[in-house]
Amino acid sequence: MTDLSAATLHKIRCAAEIIHEFHQGVVLTGAGISTPSGIPDFRSPNSGLWERYDPFEVASLTSFRYQPEKFYEWIRPLAQEIFAAQPNPAHYAVVDLERHGYVQTVITQNIDNLHQRAGSRLVLEVHGSLETFTCVSCYEKVAGKQLHERYLVSGEVPRCAGCGSVLKPDIVLFGEQLPVRTWLAAQEASRRCDLMIVAGSSLEVLPVAGLPMRALENGAHLILINKSETYLDVRADIVFREDVSQILPRIVEEVVVD
């Protein structure tokens, strides 16, 4: 693990002291919590996926309807990386906070299912996941595991066994609404929490980026761990600019020490 500065170590102790005081915490995660697992993010300069692709050409609901082949050509390498990835120390640190009663809900913008694989119990996937697919015509739902070989290995566009129409992964594309029940639950959790930890999100994508503000408006404390600036840095109790897979486990070590 990289040596941390004295200032960062002090902030880690301060963050741990804050977490100790609360037991209705929410962790909001973005792509930055999964990049240490080998999954690329979307917006980092020079490396983000949107540096190489126009999202409205490959990942919008409109483009999917007219050119599903182009969508699957784009998502195929990303899906391969997602299914090969393993949870990293940051995911397990979140689980530790849950097990010790400090965090009640995980809200994630990620579609990789790594929180669940690490052991998190209540995960609200506001942008969906690749774990299930839905037929665009008859709305039959299919487990993703049944389809992975079809489009990951052969590159074939998966189709419904019943009606033959294209199957769409249950992820939120540009121009598509968030899953209503999940979004309402995320809003409620943010409103009721007494602490929110933002881990690996630049808070640029609405409406999810507004959830920490909802928490602040109801008196919650806010800890931010992200390599780049966010619009709420000035409102947070503590801000870390380091790698979340290094910082969050160190914070948890301080919190759960016997």
**For tokens 């409406």, what's the residue?**
207
| Three-state DSSP state, 24 | coil
The amino acid occupying position 175 is G
Active site residue: 100, 127, 148, 221, which one? Answer: 127
Residue 109 burial by CB count (10 A; 0-12/13-18/19+): exposed, middle or buried? buried
Provide the CB-side half-sphere exposure for 189 (13 A, CA): 25
- Give catalytic status of residue 23 as yes or no: no
* CA 210 from centre of chain: 15
CA dist 11 and 188 (Å) reads: 29
Find out whether 97 and 27 touch, Cβ atoms under 8 Å: yes
Q: Which residues contact 94 (CB under 8 A, 6 or more apart)?
A: 27, 29, 103, 106, 115, 118, 120, 199, 248
Give catalytic residues, as residue numbers.
Answer: 127
